Structure formats: structure tokens, C-alpha cells
Structure 1
Amino acid sequence: MTLNQRDIYTELLADVVAELPHAVRLQRLVGALRAYFGCGAVALLRLEEEHLRPVAVDGLVRDALGRRFAVGLHPRLGAILARRGVTCFHHDSVLPDPYDGLIDEHVGEPLPVHDCMGIRLELDGRAWGVLTLDALQVGTFDDAAQAELDGLTLLVETAIRTTRLEADIRALQLSRGKTPDNELPADESEIVGQSEAITGLLHELDVVADSELPVLLLGETGVGKELFAHRLHRLSRRSERPLVHVNCAALPESLAESELFGHVKGAFSGATGERPGRFEAADGGTLFLDEVGELPLAIQAKLLRTLQNGEIQRLGSDKPRRVDVRVIAATNRNLREHVRDGSFRADLYHRLSVYPIPIPPLRERGNDVLLLAGRFLELNRARLGMRSLRLSPAAQDALRRYRWPGNVRELEHVISRAALRSVSRGANRNDIVTLEPDLLDLDSLAPPSDASASVTNAAEAGHHHVALPAGTTLRDAVEQIQRDCIDQALRAQQGNWAQAARQLGIDASNLHKLAKRLGCK
């Protein structure tokens, strides 16, 4: 042991009273405990409903922080959580270890015979989570070690309580109201990441959430705009009221007005009664307009009127209705360009983009890709009934190098496919299964980085010698190239629209709409 008993108490107490970022305080906590007990790994996990989420680890692989451990699927964690005091598992325990294959010193290998112990952590008489320690040497956690961990429990809980109190103070400073009793600050279970890009974004969302300003979330397909919209609502004054999600891309133009604003009996064929729209459903709360750039121009005018005066009019009715709704909109389009070409109203754009928030693509989030991969690895491990599922170092490097045109959604699909491939190729579900780069198959997935690259390639392949008729506008020329690119991609993919969209680097629903506008279908 590199720390004696006096050292460990002094170090932990010093960190409790020091002004430290919460992540730093908790990381120093697990690091000090690992040094004191001389063990292979220490993890601090917070209870979130039926899952335990690592908030600080020392000695586990990098992606461990992105994993979520279902209590019902990990009996050792369940046993620790079920009782107060130290729970110890010696080398002959038959219960599976949740960290099989995840110890840094034994990456991807079955753990050697070892000892484990852990404690249930409480705040205000309620379970907050657990602290676990894993040793690679038999007998490390003898009676004396267990007694020492029991004596340190109060200090560990004090460190967590201090972090929570600091979060409450910060919440008051931001005028956000109180933080739930068992919650640490700014860590949302759905949003995984520790990069500077994502932590800066989360802080910005914290600040703007309490305002009543409309927010426009900007980002590529697959970055998780819906998750950030949910976070904005959850941190707002309207959190107790409904959040209503409208996918504007899925609204048929003929029904869009009725869906948003409602209708009265007889407003159109089939309207046999009155029906409130999404704005009325969101009254007092938040309306999330996803893919707002897909709204037809006629609906944009009515949406603008609602944002201006807070009134809606059901289809077929002359009577206005007052609504109190905060609007959060999202798009993967460049709305400025659509304003210039006349497909999106400038006045509506300015109303929606009072506070625009760009969401960084996955390729700009550094090692967050590994934390997210850890999350998806654990989900697939549980779904497929596997003992352990992890990435080889080469696979981790491949994930970091790939450009991720489909962002987090694409990463989730890559990990799911790789896990299924490993099983289909004969991997034993009772072994520690390590995913290598060939299972990820990233090379075959890499499309051009965006649709413009495909347009450029197609133009170079077959259109750079075409003489355009006199009087052809630039827009006409671009649309012709777009038609040719879509036709070429569909032929290459045997008419498969989803594959053609992937080849062109755009969302499939957007490809259908573009093709319809260009007269390709």
C-alpha cells in the first residue's frame, strides 16, 4: 500500500473541503482508494432507476464510464446494493463479475482468481449507489481491509454530499430551482460524453433552459438533437408540464395544419368531430418541432402567427385560442440557405433562431466515441445474453479514426452489428468476447462525407463536358446534377432508397423529398 491510514483520511478530507470540479473530486477519490488498498480497480457507480452508472473509475478500460450496469443482470452489484455495510466476494464466488474483461491490466482476458468487495452508499437515508473494489491477488480483501473500507464509508458519502450541495448552489445561481435529492450535477444518463465540446454545450443548455426563449438546435443527422431537446425541457420551468414531440418530416402536407393546430367537425372530409392539435396538447409546456425545415410554406405562415401572438386557430374555425407554449426546433438543414432560395420564411427563421445552439458532430468529440461505444457494448451484451463484450485496442483506434457521417446513431448500429456478427461467427456467449476492427467493418461503411462530395464526383464522372443550353440558370444546372446523382445512386443500389441515401450521405427521408421536388419519382 502506498498510502497509510492517516494519509488516506487526510487526502480524502482535503478533497472534501477543496473547491474542485465534481468530476475531479470523485476521480481523485477512487484513485486514492485504489492506491490505499493496492487493488486492480475501483469504481463509483450511481443508481439511476434500475441501472448503475459509473461516475468515476480507476483501473477499468476507458469505455467503462459509458456503460450502464442493469442491477437485475449483475448479481454482485445487486448484492452490494441490497445491504448496508461491506459485501465481499472471495475467489471462489460463483456469481459473475460485472468487470470481466474490463480490467486495464488484463484487457479482454478472463480475470485471474481475485477478490472483490463493495459498499452501498446512501444520502439522506436513500440508496445513492455503490463503491466497488477488485483485487487481482487472492486474500487482498481480508477482514482488516473490509473493516477499513467500512470505516471510510462516511468519508466517501461526505464527498458525494459535498458535490451534491455544490450542484444545488450552482442550480440556485442559475435560477433553475432545486436539484433532486440523489442527483449529482449536469450528468444526464442519456447524454454520454466528457469532451470539451459536449461539456461546453451542456453548460450552455443549463443556462438557456430557464429562459422562455425559443431555441433552434442545429446539427447533422444522428447527433441526438432530440436528447438535447428533452434536457432543455427537463431543466426548464415547464418541466412539470408536457413536452410534445412533432416530427415535421413525417407530417403529410394535407394534414400538417390539422396536426399542429387541430380541427373542428366538418373541416374536411372525415373530420367527424373536434380534435385539438399539438399546440394545445403542449399548452403550458414545450413543443419540440423536429426537422422544422421540412414544414410546407403555407404552414410556416400559420406557425409564425402563433409564435407572434400566442394564438392558434383550429382548421375550419374562426375562433382563435390562446396557448402558452415554448418552442424548441431542430434541423439538420442550413436554414439560411433555404431562406435565400425561398423555401423557408425569413421571418419564421428569425423567430425560431432567437437562441441557436449547434450540436457538435461525433468526429469533433474526441474520446467520447469510446464512452458511447461502452454504452452500446453493455446494451448489446445484455440483449444477447453474453458474459462480456469489449473492444480490442485496434478496434478502439479504428473508432477514433473513423469520421462518423451518421454520428451517434451510426455508432450504435456499428456496435450492434459487430456484436451480432461475433455471435454468428461462433463466439461463445460464456466467454469474454473481444470485437476486432474486421467485425466493425468500418471501411465498407465510409460514404462520402456529405452529399456535395457525391455530387462533385458524379459531375466529374459524367457531366463536366456537357454544354448547358443558353440561358440555363445555376439553380437549374445544380438540380439537373442532383437528378443525375440520385438516378446513379439508385441504379448502383438496385433501387434501394436507404442504401442510395447512405451512398449520397444524406438522410433517407430527405432523399425522398428531394427526389419528389426534382421530379425523380
Structure 2
Amino acid sequence: MTIDTTQLLLLTDLVADLPAAVRLQRLVNSLRAHFACGSVALLRLEQEHLRPLAVDGLTSDALGRRFAVKDHPRLAAILARRGVTRFPHDSPLSDPYDGLIDGHAGQPLPVHDCMGMALNVEGERWGVVTLDALDIGRFDAQAPCELEQLASAIEAAVRITRLEAEIRALRTTGWSAPASARTALREDNEIVGQSEAIVHLLHELRVVADSELPALLLGETGVGKELFAHRLHQLSRRVGKPLVHVNCAALPESLAESELFGHAKGAFSGATSERPGRIEAADGGTLFLDEVGELPLAIQAKLLRTLQNGEIQRLGTDRPRRVNVRVIAATNRQLRELVREGAFRDDLYHRLSVYPIPIPPLRERGNDVLLLGVSSFSVQ
């Protein structure tokens, strides 16, 4: 991408109606693509620590870290000056991301290039953006100049995100929010937890929600997959459209096709009139397929066609119908094993698992169990 193209992408996102996490994630994605580097991180200054808000090319563990400035000389050097700080590949200063680069997790970083820039918002030091390249010479003499040219767009994205957060705070303390915003706030309040696992999960949901591709929620029975599916829908562009929930485990095999795809009059005994199915009911919105691993193989083939072509065919008719749905699936089963056993289609599995999202059980969420207990008590 040229510098003008990158600036245009960043500026376009400024005026788009995006969740904060999505805007910041797109920001680091655009920077990484422009500089063709190994990783980009956006970090917020909180007293004496830097906290990652969005990363690309780092492991998911990075989002749960807090980097003490005094312990990381490269970050301290970036914070200390206005403009871009570039580190040569043979810099003796330790790198804060050792063990956190995708493909090098848990390993010291090889010799590489690094640069970063301090960010100011309303005259105050807000944080930093850092870029790492694993190949020597990636950041030539022109790279710092290009990053400096993008500074205004980067800081504008941060400023817009901060302003939106302040507006949300005002709404919760007296502003009259639109019905859609009040619904979203209620959905937020239903998810209780402050553990690293749940904070990371909520961040991931905000990023994934902006995509139109299928998402697959994975987890044991009782972890709240339906709640997180609702969360994805509320954060998506389809929030004003229907969210249709289908419990695949409760669909009798003999009626599954009719329930999902609808049927024509006379398609079977008792079909006295034409009837649309659940997928048509979700047109324009989101289809949530709970316990998708229980779908019969014959239905899986028809569902695959819907995902591939955006078409359905009612039982008893040859005429296809166009539908526009975003599919969120959930399961407590190991779909890979079902594929090996021949009980689940391999091509459907790959279609559904574009964004696999593991939901951690409560035992892996630290003190969240205490918060849940307090929440239950206060409701009573």
C-alpha cells in the first residue's frame, strides 16, 4: 500500500460506525500491511505501565500483559521523545516482545528491526505504537518518515475512540440513549467477569463481530455460548436485524429440513400451506446454530450450499431463494473427531470454523466466580 492509501483507510475508519476495539484493530492491521512487518502493537499509558489495546502479529497472551516502563528500555525510549524512535538490528536494548511474536512464542526474538512512536491526545502523552520486523533492513531510512506522516491519523483514531468512551460513560449516568444502545448496554451487563481470560475473550468478540464470516463458539456445556452469540450479534453491523436461535439438538431428523429451510404446500403430509424456515426468518440478520454438531449429514450438505452461495431451497420446490445471513455456530463436541468418524462434513467444518472462539469454563476464570456470586445475590 502507498502512504496515501494507508491514510485513506485510516481516515475512512474514523467516520465509520465501528466498535472501539474494531477501529483500533483495523488501525494496527493497516499499519502492519503498509510496512510489511512482523508485528504492530498499540499500547495505552496507564501510570507507570503500558497496556496493549490492539495487536497484530503478537500472540494472544500479549493483550493480557502490562509492561512496566522502567523494565523495558525500548518502550521508555519511545515514550521519552516526540516523533519516531528507530532501533538498529544490533541494538543492545532488550525487546519487550521476546516470546510473544507469532511463530516464535516462548523463544527469544532473532535479530530484527524495530521502531516506535509516542502518541499524544489533547496535549497529553497517551501511549505508543510499536512495529517489529524479523528481517534486517525492513525499516529503511524512509520508514520513520512514513510513520511520522501517519501520526495525525493514528492519534485521530485514538482520540475518536476516547471520545466515544466518554460519551458512553455519560449515557450511563443520565443521558437518554436510543433503544439499540440500551439493548447493547444490557447485553454488556449480562457478561460478568474481570479475569484475564474473559477480558481477552470480550476483546476477541469485538474484533470478530465486525466480520461477515461465520464464527464457531467452542466450549463445554454451561459456559454461556448462547450469551456470547448474542454479544456477537449486538456488536455486529446486523444489530438492527433479527437474531434467530436454532437448537440443532432439539430438531427431529424428520423435521430438520423443513424447520431450517421451509417447505412448499403439499411437500409432505400435513404441509397444508407454504412456510418459510428459520434461515429465511434470519434474512439480513444472524442465524445462531446451537449444538451444530448434532445436525444430520443430509442437512449439513444443504447448509453448506447456503454458506457457499447464499441460497436455500424449500422442501418440495426446485426454486432456490437468496438469503443474506451471518452464521454463528456453537458446539460442545469435538468437530474434528466427528469429521474423522464421518459424522460431520469436512467442508462444512472448515466453513464454520473460520473464526473459532473457545469459551473458557468458570474454573479457568479465576475470581470471576466471586463476581458471579455477588451478581446473583444483588439480583435477588
Band the TM-score falls in, shorter-chain normalisation: 0.5 to 0.7
Separation (CA, whole Å) in 1 of partners of 2:342 and 2:251: 20
Are residue 264 (structure 1) and residue 267 (structure 2) matched?
A: no
Superposition TM-score, scaled by structure 1 size: 0.39
Deviations 1:228-274 (A, max 9, x none): 00010000000000000000000000000000000010000000000
- The number of aligned residues is 217
Divergent runs of 4+, >6 A: 178-187
Task: Report if aligned partners of 1:167, 1:179 keep a CA contact under 8 Å in 2.
Answer: no
Amino acid at match of 2:369: V
- Measured in 1, the distance between the counterparts of 2:184 and 2:326 equals 27
Instruction: State the match for 1:285 in structure 2.
Output: 285
Alignment of 1:83-482 (within 5 A): 165=163, 167=165, 188-379=188-379, 381=380
Distance 1:212 1:227, change over 3 A: same
Change (3 A) 1:254 1:378: same
CA contact (8 A) 1:167 1:185 kept: no
Cα pair 2:225 2:330 within 8 Å, conserved = yes
Query: 1:383-417 CA deviation, whole Å, 9 max, x = no partner?
Result: xxxxxxxxxxxxxxxxxxxxxxxxxxxxxxxxxxx
Label 1:327 to 1:181 Cα distance change in 2 as closer, same or farther (>3 A): closer
Q: Percent identity between the aligned chains?
A: 79
Give the partner amino acid of 2:315: L
**Cα pair distance change 1:374/1:308, threshold 3 Å:** same
How many Å separate the matches in 1 of 2:230 and 2:292? 16
Give the alignment's TM-score, normalised by structure 2.
Answer: 0.53
- Contact kept? 2:220, 2:332, Cα under 8 Å: yes
* Mapped partners of 1:228, 1:287: distance in 2: 13
- Structure-2 residue corresponding to 1:73: none
CA distance in 1, matches of 2:300, 2:210: 26
Higher RCO (C-alpha under 8 Å, 6+ residues apart): 2
1:417-465 per-residue CA deviation (whole Å, 9 max, x = no partner) reads: xxxxxxxxxxxxxxxxxxxxxxxxxxxxxxxxxxxxxxxxxxxxxxxxx
Is contact 1:163–1:184 with CA below 8 Å preserved after alignment? no
- TM-aligned CA deviation for residue 183 of structure 1: 10
Superposition RMSD in Å: 3.0
Distance 1:325 1:182, change over 3 A: closer
- For residues 183 and 233 of structure 1, the distance between their equivalents in structure 2, rounded to whole angstroms, comes to 11
Q: Aligned partner of 2:236: which letter?
A: S
> Are the equivalent residues in 1 in contact too, given 2:216–2:354 (CA < 8 A)?
yes
Shift of 1:167: 2.5
1: CA distance, partners of 2:285 / 2:337: 31
Per the TM alignment, residue 180 of structure 1 is displaced from its structure 2 partner at its CA by 7.4
Unaligned runs of 5+ in 2: 1-43, 48-159, 169-177
Query: Counterparts of 2:184 and 2:336 in 1: how far apart (Å)?
Result: 39
Is residue 215–residue 329 contact of structure 1 (8 Å, CA) maintained in 2?
A: yes
Change over 3 Å in CA distance of 1:187–1:270 after alignment to 2? closer
Contact preservation (8 Å) 1:186, 1:202: no
Distance in 2 of aligned mates of 1:307 and 1:184: 27
